[in-house]
Amino acid sequence: MRKLAPTEVELDIEVSENDLNIARERAFQKLIKQYRLPGFRTGHVPRRIFERQMGTETIEHHAVEDLVPQAYTKALKEHGLEPVDRPKIDLERGEEGKNLHIKATVAVRPEIALVEYRDFELEKQPVSVSDEEVEHSLESLRKRAASVEPVLDRGIRAGDIVTMNYAGKIDGEDFEGGSAAGHTTEITPERFVPGFAEQLYGAQAGERRTVSVTFPTTYHAEALQGKEAVFDVTIDEVKMAVYPQLDAAFVRQVSDKETLEELRADIRRRLEAVATAQSRETMQKQLLEALLERHDFPLPEVLVDKEVESLLADAKGYMQRIGRPWEEYLSAKGVDEKGLQAEYRTEAERRVKSGLLLEEIAKAEKIDVTTADLESELDNLARSYGRSREAMIDLIRRNTGFEPLIGSVRKQKTVDFLLRSAAVREPPPGMQSAAAGVA
């Protein structure tokens, strides 16, 4: 074995002529069950006849294809190596043309010297929920349950829902994204470039207005930053939201509760559950950061590259789900795709390092995934995706297989173990949580 880099090795594996001959015979016995030759029953073709008809290369190819993985796996065990990627395999014949030499270059898991990881001090976040937070969530429910009615006797006010046509120009020229027809939106300042919404206040259906604005220097589209634009706006329709009364009918409309008191209690329970989850997530982040600070080891570049690609795929998937072009995301970030990959690299390295550390601790603490653990996670996934457990199992089997899921559950169990081992400081009494807006 030769170490090429801290996380890359080259294995020189020699297979004897005897082992190669055994593999050839084994390959021949498999092949004669698959091929039909005139005058012979399936599986009873003499080897010399088979080689004359099909060529010795057919047997050689299948023998080597069968032998190489076995020899490679054996070499990994002998050297105590844990690969993190598929190897690059080169085959060579020995000087006499008999023995087979296998040269395998492979990225391997780094050697990790664990230091103490059971003595972390963590600060627990508060999980109390204020009355104001409950009322804010209740108001959000009212807003979602509101009906929409046409406005006929007044002009536009903040919060009205307006359908309009607009065409914008910069220095007398049209610009990308500056025009739309039949665009319906709520008129509030935060939804528009500063000053746009306010210049529509008082306008009625059928009215035409000229709106002048300056794009902020921090605007997401770099080409528009600091530019002055003039919009020709025509109001097609003005509507207003009519909120329901906070009564029993509203409660039954938005929940399975009967009274307003029951709904408020349910909202509080849900906000407390969110606050508890947020508190745990914050402590988990504290734990992982402390764990990373205590350990230093080289990372396999192949794992970091894969994690960068995963982050990139997540970002592209998000833009696709919201129906926005990928170029818009790159423009908002002010980078091209290569630049974005470079930005993601730090986070990718952090994820790879924490993952390797948690796996190492799991081995040290003999943390395994039980059938019950897996079934519980499958049930959670099924609920999240709105599928049955059987459908979820089929989906996983057809896509990634169960190894990534098992690894994810093992890591979470390891985090749970570390959280139980840590010293947790309670928050000062009277502090309120930051949870809000969940209903």
Q: Is 392 domain-assigned?
A: yes
> 305-335, pLDDT tens digit by residue?
999 999 999 999 999 998 889 988 888 788 8
Q: How many domains does the chain have?
A: 3
437 vs 199, higher pLDDT: 199
pLDDT of the residue at 95: 53
Last residue of a domain, one of 209, 242, 275: 242
| Per-residue model confidence (pLDDT) at position 259 | 94
What CATH number does the domain containing 25 carry?
Answer: 3.30.70.1050
Rounded average pLDDT over 348-355: 96
Residue 339 has pLDDT above 90, yes or no: yes
Q: Is the pLDDT of residue 137 over 60?
A: yes
Judgement on whether residues 185 and 267 belong to the same structural domain of the protein:
no
Spatial distance between the Cα atoms of 159 and 187, rounded to a whole number of angstroms: 5
- Mean local confidence (pLDDT), 276-292: 93
Q: Quick one: 287 and 406 in the same domain? A: yes
Structural domain contains residue 310:
yes
What pLDDT, on a 0 to 100 scale, did the predictor assign at position 364? 95
**Mean pLDDT, the chain, integer:** 90
DSSP letters for 132-191: HHHHHHHHHHHHHT-EEEE--SS---TT-EEEEEEEEEETTEEEEEEEEEEEEEE--GGG
| Residues contacting residue 277 through CB under 8 Å, at least 6 positions apart | none
| pLDDT tier for residue 439 given thresholds of 50, 70 and 90 | very low
Asked whether residue 128 is assigned to any structural domain, the reply reads no
Domain boundary among 200, 221, 242: 242
Residue 301 within a domain: yes
How confident is the model at residue 428, as a pLDDT? 65
**Looking at the domain assignment, is residue 175 inside a domain?**
yes
242 pLDDT above the threshold of 60: yes
pLDDT of residue 50: 82
pLDDT band at 431 (very low <50, low <70, confident <90, very high): low
172 and 267 belong to one structural domain: no
Q: Is the pLDDT of residue 180 over 90?
A: yes
Q: Which amino acid is at 318?
A: Y
- Residue 54: its pLDDT value, please? 81
Are residues 214 and 260 both part of a single domain?
Answer: no
Q: Examine the pLDDT at 96 and tell me if it is beyond 80.
A: no
Is residue 261 over pLDDT 50? yes
Task: Using the predicted structure, report yes or no on whether residue 433 has a pLDDT greater than 60.
Answer: no
- Asked if 23 and 64 touch (Cβ cutoff 8 Å), the reply is yes
Structural domain includes residue 412? yes
Give residues with Cβ within 8 angstroms of 306, minimum separation 6.
none
DSSP SS3 for 438? coil
Whether residues 230 and 330 fall in one domain = no
Q: What whole-number distance in Å separates Cα of residue 369 and Cα of residue 156?
A: 60
d(CA 414, CA 35): 51
User: Domain containing 202: what range?
Assistant: 147-242
Whether the per-residue pLDDT at 37 is higher than 80: the answer is no
Tokens of 101: 């030499």
Percent of the chain predicted with pLDDT > 70: 96
> Per-residue pLDDT for 390 more than 70?
yes
Domain boundary among the residues 242, 277, 294 is at: 242
Tell me the whole-structure pTM to 2 decimals.
Answer: 0.72
Give 156's contacts (C-beta < 8 A, 6+ positions apart).
Answer: 162, 187, 200, 201, 202, 203, 204, 235, 238
Across residues 102-121, what is the average pLDDT? 93
